[in-house]
Chain A
Amino acid sequence: MNQDIYVVIEHVQGKVAEISYTMLAAARELAQGSGGQVVAVLLGQKAQKLAETLAADKVLYVEHPALEEFTPDAYLTVLAGLLGEAQPRVALLGSTTIGSDVAGGLSERMNAPMVSQCQKFQVDGGAIKSVSKICGGKIMAEIDLPETTTLVCMIPGGYAPEDGQGQGASVETPAVPELEGLRVKLTSYIEPEAADVDLEKEPILVAVGRGIQNEDNIELAQELADLLGGVVAGSRPVVDQGWLATSRLVGKSGKSVKAKLYLALGISGAPEHVEGITGSETIIAINSDPSAPIFDVAKYGVNIDLFDLIDPLLEQVKTAKG
């Protein structure tokens, strides 16, 4: 094992995913502790220019037509070879639709332990602790990283992505392994349907979560949104139930919003949702669970049963509007 910190860069449709920069920022902190280098691993086809934005000491760029866009089989094959040979101190992957697809396979193939849901590291010389956020953000788990090569899947929130952006990394092009007989092929991307609203551009959002309880109650949120000149958005459970269109989903698989006012009604604040709202100016959370993680990101919170508050609130908003 060496002391380098490897970061598996994620990109979709020619754009580097923000989590990659977050991981590069984390990698810098780890490398300062371990005394190794930050090495970015970039897989792609005609994607070398993406290397120019990565704050790494070195970029390993693997080019192959089968790597033009992410597929789990091709990435796993390349990364197992590359990381298996390099045996870095730590390899960082996103806790994302890309990283999570391959980390488990890498762990088995490399016989390397893996950590999920890491938000932050605590570095003390060579000793590294991962702080993972689990149980929908309600529990933190500190894990002593084993002293062998370890894979870590990261969630956003612990490091500033800007700190992972930079230039001047040297680029090396390692040999490409055989990529025949791949069992997963990307046939197409389907762009989200043109929606009635673009949540990313809406200044006022009234967002509902599981606490809204049933489809009929969405109307209450809609009424409030109408009065405030905003639109209704939602977290995963509400969209999965079919109570709101997918275009209204905020969070990991949905939109990252930058609202002036984000009113979270009955949203617990799981990390998957929170990563989509932190760009908002004022977050106000209303939730009946005093330990809901949403209160850790909101500016203002109300610990109350939503249905006790909604009627007086609607009344007063109507009065205020005259």
Chain B
Amino acid sequence: MSQAAHVIIYSSAGNANGHALGAFLDENGVHYESKDADSSEHAKAEMQALAGGESEMPLLVVNSEAHANPTHAEVAQLLGLTADESADNKMHDVVMIGAGPSALAAAVYTTREDIGTVLYEKGIIGGLAAITDWVDNYPGFPKGISGLELAQSLEQQAERFGAEIRLGEVETITDKGSYKLLKTTDGNIRTRSVLIATGSDYKKLGVPGEEEFYGRGVHYCATCDGAFYRDKKLVVVGGGNSAVQEAIFLTRFTTHIDLLVRSEIRASEILRHELDKLVEKGQITVHLNTATDEIVGKDNKVTEIRAQKDGVPTTFEVDGAFIFIGLLPNTDFLKNSAIKLDSHGFIKTDAGLQTTIQGVFASGDVRSGATMQIASAVGEGATAALKLREYLEGHRK
């Protein structure tokens, strides 16, 4: 169907077929004008002129061509609507891809405005926040809060106002102009607008042994797996906030941690202070200018980490390694879409958080220029929700 098709329905308030036709066009995301030929002489005259005389109602006019009381099948053919059957037979207002803090915050706002909101989450509801041991810098919690508790609270708040969280994956987004077609693990669904808030995932070292020993001595989640290393020795790789925070967390289990930092520690002042205390106690040893080369094991378990410290080969005999070296945006599924990404794979948006597809917005860690904090992800989610509302209001008939 041409995206420029001009569609008018001439009908009357009591005409059931007219209402059904309008609903059918709404369901398929078709913009149209609605004119009451009973209450407006002008509309009646227009209708008769287009129909070439008296006409049965509803009269559907597509680019000045009149069709009296067409069937839905005829309308679908006229407007080229046949291709996109949706699995749930609905035209959603907004589908959010991801159910981390950004999307959950957005969903609180959209659902409170009665904007039908569905979220798709292929992994953990709450995203990386849910697996963060402790959050001390999210405003409103003077004693801090566990990441999982914060995530579950956000989830409950979104669901309280009617957000529907589906456990599944969105595989592609196709722009159909007035609506977007999403291919999901539930089948195709149609939506007037989209929020992409897929966040980011752990960067891998890409060294030999990393994949082989994943879950068997190589880990990316301290809250998940730290307890398996009670009275054991670990390596933690990384020098930013996550690495230092999680290393501090892991000391409650381990006998000793070697923190391998590629150049220098970049963590916040407060975390560095806590780290220094543990270094003084002998629970953590920090190794600067140390690059991890290989993860080695035996009998399905990690036994040592081979590294270069100041260029000198150094071996750490440990029972496991936890890796926190940064995050990559979850945008692989957008590679063949019309949504522009920056050179690092983050989604480019304008000042209104809209991507290069009208009606598709992005917020949180996945967005180019995001500051990778829970607080800013939530703020962007709220902003995106207001922008979504504006977009939907501006694009309703």
Q: Do A and B bind each other?
A: no
